[in-house]
Amino acid sequence: MAILFHCPWDNADEWLGALRAALPDDEFRIWPDIGPVEDIDFAMVWKLPHGNLADLPNLLAVASLGAGVDALLADPDLPRHIPITRLVDPLMVDRMAEYVTATVLHHHLGLDRYDQQQDAVHWQRHPTTDAGDRTVALLGLGQMGRRCAQHLGALGFKLRGWSRSPKTVDGVMCDHGEDGLKETLKMAEIAVLLLPLTARTTNLMDRSAFAAMPRGSYLINCSRGEVVVDGDLLAALDSGHLAGATLDAFREEPPRQDDPYWRHPKVRLTPHIAALSSSASAALILAEQVRRAREGRPLRDVVDIGAGY
């Protein structure tokens, strides 16, 4: 049998090499040169053009090459009778926690302001806030949210969390549902978005959500660009209600050259690098998924198609 592979990233060759090393007896078919479709029993893809999976009659499972599966689930012809899995790599979880911790600290310590002072050749100290007096809200309490909570909790931050359904996380005051979101945002001096993209989270952070946050609060988006209503965020920044934002995900990637985020004085932009996957570690995880599918064993990290993640 053969494996369908589609990876539009710059390091696709690196991924393919790692996967071939982990599955030395398998043939990899690189889309669009997939050969006889009946040979393919497994697919490893990222943003595969819609409709292609439906043409594979012997497909056992589909594995996303990343943590997100929104592009896969948007395929109207997606075969929904087979397992669809997302990549859950402990290394990615750690990388996300590192990014979030660094970004929270950058704002917490006022380093944006000192960067601006350096540009202006201006020397001035400003009052500090202790971590125990700062509330960080984590919107999304999956594996990445829980790991971020561990890192931030170790630094002494007060933590609140929100999720679609009830969850309990050590050291985090957790809320859920629509009313819980409002209560969480009211206390969010720093709000970190770690949500999957679903029908319920699309445009979740809109004018009313930003208005619920305290004046002078800060937004960090490490989820998907579609979770944020861009015009409402820009308005909240321009009005001074939000002090700033760090954005790692966008509706269009890369953003257009005339996108206001590029040059906005209150926005830090990074090119979707908060939790980069590693081909070396991911290949071992994906190889195990292939073995499980072929042996008829349950796959890990199977997506709940109804929930969207």
Tens digit of each residue's pLDDT (9 = 90 or more) over 223-242 = 999 999 999 999 999 999 99
Distances in Å between the alpha carbon of 273 and those of 190, 198, 280? 20, 21, 17
Residues 18/43, Cβ–Cβ less than 8 Å: no
Please identify which residue in the block is written with the tokens 């969010």: 188
Percent of the chain scoring above 70 in pLDDT: 100
Q: What is the mean pLDDT of residues 109-115?
A: 95
Residues 148/100, Cβ–Cβ less than 8 Å: yes
Kindly tell me if the per-residue pLDDT of 307 is higher than 90.
no
Distances in Å between the alpha carbon of 105 and those of 109, 111, 125, 140, 266? 6, 8, 17, 19, 16
Domain 2-89+277-295's class?
Answer: alpha beta
86 Cα distance to chain centroid: 12
pTM recorded for the entire structure: 0.92
Average pLDDT, the chain: 96
Q: What is the mean pLDDT of residues 111-116?
A: 94
- pLDDT given for residue 277 in this prediction: 87
Distances in Å between the alpha carbon of 133 and those of 174, 190, 307? 18, 12, 35
To 10 degrees, the CA torsion angle through 45, 50, 56, 60? 50
Query: Cβ neighbours of residue 308 under 8 Å, at least 6 residues apart?
Result: 69, 70, 73, 196, 197, 198, 199, 200
Q: For residue 104, how many other CB atoms are within 10 A of its CB?
A: 23
Kindly tell me if the per-residue pLDDT of 308 is higher than 90.
no
192 Cα distance to chain centroid: 11
Question: With b meaning 16 or more CB within 10 Å and e meaning fewer, what string describes 42-63?
Answer: bbbbbbbeeebbeebeebbbbb
Nearest to 64 by CA among 84, 83, 50: 84
Angstrom distance (rounded) from CA 266 to CA 180: 28
Q: Domain ranges in the chain?
A: 2-89+277-295, 90-269
> CA triplet 240, 152, 106: central angle to 5 degrees?
45
- pLDDT given for residue 211 in this prediction: 98
Q: What is the mean pLDDT of residues 157-184?
A: 96
Fold classification of 90-269 is: Rossmann fold (3.40.50)
Intrachain domains 2-89+277-295 and 90-269 with the same fold: yes
Angstrom distance (rounded) from CA 207 to CA 233: 7
Tokens coding 211: 């208005």
Dihedral sign from CA coordinates of 235, 236, 237, 241: positive
Q: Which of 67-76, 244-253, 299-308 has the highest mean pLDDT?
A: 244-253
Query: Cβ neighbours of residue 290 under 8 Å, at least 6 residues apart?
Result: 3, 23, 26, 42
Write out the catalytic residue numbers: 224, 272
